[in-house]
Structure 1
Amino acid sequence: MKLSFPFSAIVGQDEMKLALLIAAIDARIGGVMVFGDRGTGKSTAVRALAGLLPPVPVVDGCRYNCAPGGSATCPAPEAHRPGKATMPVPFVDLPLGATEDRVVGALDLERALGHGEKAFEPGLLARANRGFLYIDEVNLLEDHIVDLLLDVAASGENVVEREGLSVRHAARFVLVGSGNPEEGELRPQLLDRFGLSVEVRTPQDLAQRIEILKRCDAFEREPERFVDGWHKAERKTLKKIARGREALPSVTVPDAVLSLASQLCIAVGADGLRGELTLMRSSRALAALDGDDVVGPKHLARVAPMALRHRLRRNVLDETGSTVRIERAVAELLAA
């Protein structure tokens, strides 16, 4: 089995790693959009997190990755078999040239024409169920495909209607998109649908760049030995995620924090209510990750740039970046 680079061994990129951990705690946040330079470890980080998580129990032979116990929306007869198995957390890399049929699934024409059966061939969304769906250069993907993916990611269900055939199956995954803004902008309406947005840049610190080179070289030369060396740190991160998932339902968000979230969205001019919902969910997930029972202003302050920077209108009278505007607004509100 091919080994993944350890999540704990990734140098820097703290905001990206935190956003991925938050999304792993609560998938309802709506995925992560990563903007940044090429070769900064975006896909490596997502693969590493998927590889870190424990195998998921599945129905043996189910092509939709259904959990044992049966799924009301699973269209496959094998989903009701008693057999159980486990599989690594799915990681699906969606290619830019993927057609809609390949993404959502397609009618098996060979069986339809040859045997008169309306058979459905699951797509990439079925493969990604209960795992991660990664799209590199999402800003170059056709808008209708991106819109479709965001709809499914929000609903947790894929519905396909082809040639009189209607198929419905679970498609719950963490959607992660990455892109370089210099190669094309993602439509604001679509960008707003991502839960969190992070920015990654090529490290400018010499010591950090050297450490990255050393770790990459060590992993390429002796991957098993390198992974073993990070086993303890990986187990620590895994336990933190498990505790966070377990604690999430019991974490409370006081009215004072909800009020602060709304005031912040008003102050920075965020459109709609997605910003506030994401602030609430992501700050709660962060509190669970940190082992706190109650969400406080400190949690809100940490997630605010990730939750809001891609939802702001451009202010022609303010030349500062969106991150600076959000941090300034947070500081003013907390000081009041």
Structure 2
Amino acid sequence: MALTIAAVDPTVGGVLVFGDRGTGKSTAVRALAAVLPPMQASDCAYRCDPARSTEACETCRDGGTGQTKATPVPVPVVDLPLGATEDRIVGALDLERALTAGEKRFEPGLLARANRGFLYIDEINLLEDHLVDLLLDVAASGENVVEREGLSVRHPARFVLIGSGNPEEGELRPQLLDRFGLSVEVTTPTDLATRIEVVKRRDAFERDPEGFAAGYDAANAAVRGTIMAGRQRLRSIAVPDATLEKAAQLSLRLGTDGLRGELTLMRAARALAALEGDAVVEWTHLARLAPLALSHRLRRDPLDEAGSAARVERAVGELEAAA
């Protein structure tokens, strides 16, 4: 649900998936590429949106070939490996061209590849601090600026950030944690039927990967259609003042810092309503999404042993009872 909400409305702010090892976190994120509708893109290195000239690169803005030729392409889902260098992420001088032809040419990095798509970081809690700062700057501005080796390059880098990790291996920096719109806690399934089904599907995939994938083509197409319909309905979804008041009351009750919590909750609830074909955002949408939008924004309470998601659910129940 969190991933499809981010696909419908990227302004929600990304998804953080934390939980036990071996629970399919990375598999689920990488599978997102198979259900995303294609996008119209220019033929430049950054796949600019032909309909948004203000967010285009210099080539497209100057009337280059990228602006005149648009084709449908898959939405990128780019992996950022833990060992990636800063040059690999932001881009750098094309050394081969510089040495062979004496030309200074920019070689785009992972941020360029992820433009208008999804940037996935596995084990994000182990990412080096200077790379975290870099990602925060680019995610906030939607633009990557490279000033090095005589190069001065500025290009669009608007992406949905998705991170996953195991909390036992280290916590996430608060600055990065707050940037994620939604957070999901994944635990190892405890019911026997689910565990058996997971093992059977994994075994079936290993025996016949192509046949297994083909068996889910119809299901993938259904999810793709739901996402496309949700995007079309998103602008028409109404958010009444009474619903906004409930979101603000919930954030106040939980003591979240700033206003990012209720903004995210409102955007996510609107996307969920669009996905489900509802015309108006109701309290039921807020209640379902509150643990995802608010649990990672709570301050630690040494007097409360309950987990953050449990604290949010308790606050939701108290607000319902008060009404």
Shift in CA distance, 312/70, structure 1 to aligned 2, threshold 3 Å? closer
- CA separation in 2, counterparts of 1:80 and 1:89? 17
- CA separation in 1, counterparts of 2:171 and 2:52? 41
The Cα of 1:115 is off from its aligned counterpart by: 5.0
Native 8 Å contact 1:75 1:167 kept in 2: no
State TM-score, norm by structure 1: 0.88
Residues 12-53 of structure 1, C-alpha deviations (whole Å, 9 max, x = no match): xxxxxx111111111111111110112211111112111112
Counterpart for residue 131 of structure 2:
145
Counterpart for residue 194 of structure 1:
180
2:49 to 67, 70, 76: 67
2:6 to 23, 31, 35: 23
1:256 aligns with 2:239: no
Correspondence list, 1:160-171, <5 A: 160-171=146-157
The Cα of 1:177 is off from its aligned counterpart by: 0.4
1:312 aligns with 2:295: no
Code of the residue aligned with 2:114 in structure 1: it is: A
Counterpart for residue 5 of structure 1:
none
The Cα of 1:332 is off from its aligned counterpart by: 1.0
1:246 to 218, 232, 253: 232
1:128 aligns with 2:88: no
Taking only the aligned residue pairs, the percentage that are identical comes to 70
Code of the residue aligned with 2:4 in structure 1: it is: L
Counterpart for residue 286 of structure 1:
272
Native 8 Å contact 2:37 2:228 kept in 1: no
- Structure 1 unmatched ranges of 5 or more: 1-17
Counterpart for residue 171 of structure 2:
185
- CA separation in 2, counterparts of 1:44 and 1:149? 23
Counterpart for residue 43 of structure 1:
26
The number of aligned residues is: 318
- CA separation in 2, counterparts of 1:81 and 1:275? 37
Counterpart for residue 57 of structure 1:
40
1:215 aligns with 2:198: no
Residues 51-76 of structure 1, C-alpha deviations (whole Å, 9 max, x = no match): 1123333333x221223468453144
Correspondence list, 1:90-129, <5 A: 90-112=76-98, 115=101, 117-129=103-115
- CA separation in 2, counterparts of 1:229 and 1:119? 45
Counterpart for residue 161 of structure 2:
175
Counterpart for residue 310 of structure 2:
324
- CA separation in 1, counterparts of 2:244 and 2:318? 16
Native 8 Å contact 2:7 2:36 kept in 1: no
Counterpart for residue 15 of structure 2:
32
- CA separation in 2, counterparts of 1:196 and 1:80? 34
SS at match of 1:239: helix
Native 8 Å contact 1:150 1:194 kept in 2: no
Shift in CA distance, 115/224, structure 1 to aligned 2, threshold 3 Å? closer
The Cα of 1:82 is off from its aligned counterpart by: 3.4
1:203 aligns with 2:186: no
The Cα of 1:260 is off from its aligned counterpart by: 0.9
Shift in CA distance, 110/215, structure 1 to aligned 2, threshold 3 Å? closer
Across the aligned residues of Structure 1 and Structure 2, the Cα RMSD in angstroms comes to: 2.0
